[in-house]
Structures are given as C-alpha cells and as structure tokens.
A and B are shown apart, each in its own frame.
Chain A
Amino acid sequence: MMRRAYFKFSWIAAALLAPQLLIIFVFFYWPSAQALYWAFTLEQPWGGGNTWVGFDNFRKVLSDPYYWGSVRVSVIYALATTVLAMTMALVLAVFVDRQLAGYKAYRVAIIWPYAVAAPAVGLAFQFVFNPGAGIFSYINTIAPGWWDLSKYPWQAVTAIVVAGAWKQVAYSFVFFLAALQSIPRSLTEAAAMDGARPLRRMVDLQLPLLTPTFFFLLVINITDSFTDSFGIVDTLTGGGPFRATDLMVYKIYTDGFRGFDYSGAAAQSIILMLLVMALTFVQFRYVERRVHYT
C-alpha cells in the first residue's frame, strides 16, 4: 500500500483532485444531505419554505400500507431474481468451465445480455408476456383470459422477476467463471489422481472454493435489484396492477415526480439509502476477507 517514492505535494495534486471532489460534492453529498433535510421537513413542491416536522414523514411513510406493499414486493423481487439468476449462472459457469469444444461460443452467448438496457429487457418481456400477442396469447386461446398481467398481480410480479433474473444472469456468470478458472489446475489434477470423478470434483472441490464469490454476488445482486429495477418495472408493468409491482425505487420516483410529495419521497430515499449502505458494508467486509483469501 505504501510507496517510498512520491512527488512533492503541490498545487498540481490539488488541481488533479478538485474536479472529482467538486462533482461528488454537488451531485452526491449535497443531494444526500438535502434528502436528509427534506425527510425531516415538510417541503413545498415549488419552493416557498419548509417547516421542521421531525419524524412525521417517516411515521407517515411507515404507517402507509402501500409503502409496506412496496417493501414486500421489493424483497420478493430481490430474493427471487437473485436466487434464479445465481442458480442459473452457477450451473452454466460450472459446465462452461469444463472447457469442451465450443466453450468460447457458449461464453459469449451467455455474457451479452449484460449489455441490454433494463427498459429494453422490460419491453421485450412485455411482448413475450403480452396476453394478446406473445407466446402467452397461445395459452389464452386454450384457456381464454387465464393470462393477463395487467389484471393479475401475481402474474405481473412473476413477469418482472423473470425479466430481472434474465438480465442478471450474465453478471454473475462472469464472476463465477472467473473464480472457477482461478482454481489451480494442480488441485483438480490431485483430486483426479485421488480418484475423484468430474461430478465429485464439482461438488467437493469447485463449489466450496466458490463460496466467497457466491457471497459477494449475493450481496451485489440484492443491492442491484433495489436500484436497477426501475427500467424493467417502468416498461413492463408500470407498477401495476393495483400497485403490485410498485418497487421501492419506482415508488420514490412516482411519489416525488408524479405526486410532488418531496418529503415523503425523501423519507423513502433515506430508508432505501440506509438499506443499500448496510448491504454495501457487508460487501466491503467480504471483499476485505477475499483479499486475504486469494
């Protein structure tokens, strides 16, 4: 970490640091402080002063059944997408890592969904799941009206989970594959000499060595699902039906910009910030541990 040779500190160093510090001050620290301030005051939508109300905004938010609905569906979304995406990524990575002929093609084919924008994913799945046009229209010709995600909450939730998981597979896959490929070959060969067949080596050797990556991805995926879901929800369900897919991020946006309830949106932002912070801390702890591990 420490170097012996440095340049002498001068205005040059200050000038090099200034742009980044200015930007994070204006666009990160200030808005976050502002959110904190708004959360404890009643802000008028178009300026005109605000009054200190203490924890009133939080009390209001926390006693709002719609807010708890939003928390519940966010947690369901986070856990379901994470489990689906990671399981699939893990299985694919383990088998791609066998490096049979064509494994490079498999790798590219699994990685590219990472590059697809969340709203594009939402829109594509909106078509796939559409009761009138996509594959589900086929089901509806057999059982008319059975599938309609603009009517049935559970179908809408399933749709955003599938779309979200689809989008997340690539990211976890890259990490799992990298971790698998960093397992020393000598270890695999030693296990083979001891008579462990490939499947046994997967279960007893590769999978245990993946645990740190597994925990890292678990936290990353859960964090991302709280912040990254906006585009999918906005184009796939628009938060409906009956607010069934009104995820926390989406609710902050709608309350703040459609409902002009800045104080309520700020209080929700603070709660979500604390949540993301907690998750990030866990991630730091893990990253630190992994540094010792490798």
Chain B
Amino acid sequence: MIERTPLLNIATHVILGFGLVIILVPIWLAFVAATQTLQAVNSAPVEFWPGDQLFVNLREAWAQSDFGPKFVNTLIVATGVVVGKITLACITAFALVFFNFRGRMLIFWMIFITLMLPLEVRIVPTYAVAANALTPFQTIMDWTGISWLIAMLSGVEVALEWNLLNSYTGLILPLVATATGTFLYRQFFLTIPDELVEAARMDGAGPLRFLWDVLIPLSKTNIAALATIMFVYAWNQYLWPLLVVTDRANYGMVVVQLSDLVPDQLTTGGGTPTWHLAMAATLVVMLPPIAIVILMQRWFVRGLINTDK
C-alpha cells in the first residue's frame, strides 16, 4: 500500500464480500439441499442452513447413480487424456523446435488451426469417425484405387474397421490432440539456450537423450501447469462421452451421469422430485476438479495464462 486509505479499504472488503456471496450462493444452496430430507427440500420456505442428512444423501446418491465404477472410468479417462496430451504436446513441440526441416511452419499451422474446430461444432461427423476410426484411410484407399488394386491382386476385399464407441480409446483419443499444449511447450522450448543443444551434441547425446535427460527435467513446471488444466478439462467432458458411450454401466463417466439426475416430472412419474439426491450427486461430481484446482492453484493459473486459453 502506498498510502493509508481506510475508507476505501472498507469499501474494498464490502465489494469483494458481495462478489463472494454471488459466487457462493448457488453452490451453498445446492449444498444445503444435499443435507436435507426429501420433504424439507421440497417444502416452500427454502432452507438456508444445512440439515443433518448429508452423509445419508451422499451414500444414497452414490449407490443410486452407481458412482463407484463411474469414478474409476472418469479417473482412467482423465489420466489418459492428461498423460496423452502432455506426451503429445511435448514430443510435437520438441520436433518442431529442435529439428530444422522444410514444412516446419506448415505443420505448426496445421496444428494451430485445430483451435478453430472445437468438438462441439464438428460433433456429428466426429461421431461418425468414432464409429469407425479407419474410415478416412478406407476412403482414401477407395478413391486412389488402392483397394481395387489389392482386391485384384490378392482377392481380398479391403474393409478396415475400428469401432471406438464404448471404449476407453474412443473416450480418450479424440480429446488427446492439443494445440494449446503444443504451444505452451513450444514457447518453453524456444527459451532453451542454443548452448545447451550444442553441449548435448558435443557430448554425443542424440535428440531423444537430450529430450529425456535435459528438457523433460527442465519442463517440470510446465507439466504441472498443463496437467492441472487438462485434468479439469478431461474430468468435465460431457458432450463427447454422452455420445460415444451407450454402455453406461461399463464405460459411463460421472459428469454424464448428472443428466440423469435432473428431477423433472417425467423421470419421477409425477412424484416428488428428489432434489436432495441430485444435489448430493452434483457435489460429489464437482469435488475432484475443485480440489485439484485449489491444491494446484499456482500451476493452474500459470497454465491458463501461458496458453492464452
């Protein structure tokens, strides 16, 4: 503080306090609902203080939504996406920064431009690809006449098929490509002094050794930052798992499960909506990414700001 401003300080706390109330109220109400009985949650003067049913509701919501296996699935997918994204980002950026070859910028732009194609806008054809991930290759072979040639020469009809629906691969693979991660790594690699590369070469280290022994240890903070935002991203995926997984019992993810909890009149058959269970389940689903963000706050903020998205 440069000068004493007691009045403005009070005003600051008031304004921030007001902001916090706006941010906290919806989640507080959800929490309060999760602590109440079915009757209390649906009775008119809304409660503002928690009841004593939290653990009862949590247990019932957990059992009802079969959260056990779904948490395992979500964790598998989130870990897969995080590891995949970081690995891909790292090796792609490494190849782009430390090798000199023609078409470097072209590849760079080809990756960059995928930022403009969010999953939501290409959802219908991406789903078609997931039903058979080898369609592009099949089509290319059909067009170029390669399949015709193979059929002529060997009598084997080329019919490539790789169905990704209801599989971890299908949940993970399309989410793994990462323009932002590649950038974060590229920017970091560009700050590595040339002398390090020269020294590594003089010591007779090849590129892979340099990557593994020098760059990866140096990029630990990047990994932490990227891992945090990517975990949140992967955990919160909704539209893609909603489509790719029809076998919810085996491959369902927790966030998708939320859509089944909307207690409208149709699902309850005109009965009393079970808001206490829906809110308990919502809390359970929200908690892991929130915990990660609060724990890893420093890295999370750095990751967000460095990637500019």
**Residues on A facing B (Cβ under 8 Å):** 1, 3-10, 12-14, 16-17, 19-21, 23-28, 30-32, 34-35, 38, 88, 91-92, 95-96, 98-100, 106, 108-120, 122-128, 130, 132-135, 137-138, 140-141, 150, 166, 169, 171, 174-175, 178, 188-189, 192, 197-199, 216, 220, 226-228, 230-231, 234-235, 238, 249, 252-253, 256-257, 262, 265-266, 269, 272-273, 276-277, 280, 287
Contact = CB atoms under 8 A, between A and B. Distances in A.
B20 A20 contact: no
18 contacts: A10-B99, A13-B95, A16-B92, A31-B122, A31-B125, A35-B122, A88-B19, A96-B16, A98-B9, A108-B297, A111-B300, A118-B236, A120-B282, A125-B26, A227-B121, A230-B120, A266-B125, A273-B122
A16 B95 contact: yes
A35 B122 CA distance: 7
Interface string B278-309: 11001001100110111001001100110011
Given A25-B136, A88-B22, A256-B123, A112 B198 contact: no
Contacts of B245: none
A280 B116 contact: yes
Contact of B282 (A123, A249, A276): A123
Nearest to A47: B128
B15 A32 contact: no
B194 A4 contact: yes
Given A21-B107, A34-B125, 15 more contacts: A5-B197, A12-B206, A17-B96, A20-B92, A28-B114, A88-B19, A98-B12, A100-B12, A116-B236, A133-B41, A227-B118, A230-B120, A234-B238, A257-B243, A280-B115
A126 B262 contact: yes
B111 A24 contact: yes
- Secondary structure class of chain B's binding surface, majority of residues: helix
Nearest to A137: B44
Interface string B43-57: 011100000000000
